Amino acid sequence: MLIRLLSRYRELAADRSGALLTQNPSALINALYKVSDGYEPDTNGGPPGRGAAQRLLLRPAMKLTGGKSLSKIFSTHPSLEKRVEQLSKIQR
């Protein structure tokens, strides 16, 4: 569990670094939404309901769900909400 906690911390640190280096946290927020399951509607003529990230078989680290669960405790990435919240604070 400690290794997974460290991994989540490093992921948030990478988000912070990317936002500060690019000076464009909103672009990182948009990218997070695009690679997250179910956020990007297909506009390129692909199969219905499948965005570009899904066609590339990319899957998010975890799905958005309310409440705490074992999958969140053992996940290697922070939740999308937490990542977006952090990037929004940097943007302000």
For the chain, the structural domain boundaries read 2-91
Give the pLDDT of residue 1.
81
Separation between Cα atoms, residue 16 and residue 83, nearest integer Å: 9
Give the pLDDT of residue 66.
52
- 4: its two tokens: 């997974």
For the chain, 92 residues long, the average pLDDT of each consecutive 10-residue run is: 88 93 92 74 48 50 54 77 91 88
Contact 34, 40 (CB under 8 A): yes
Separation between Cα atoms, residue 43 and residue 92, nearest integer Å: 31
Give the pLDDT of residue 79.
86
Q: What is the dihedral of CA 79, 32, 65, 92, to 10 degrees?
A: 70
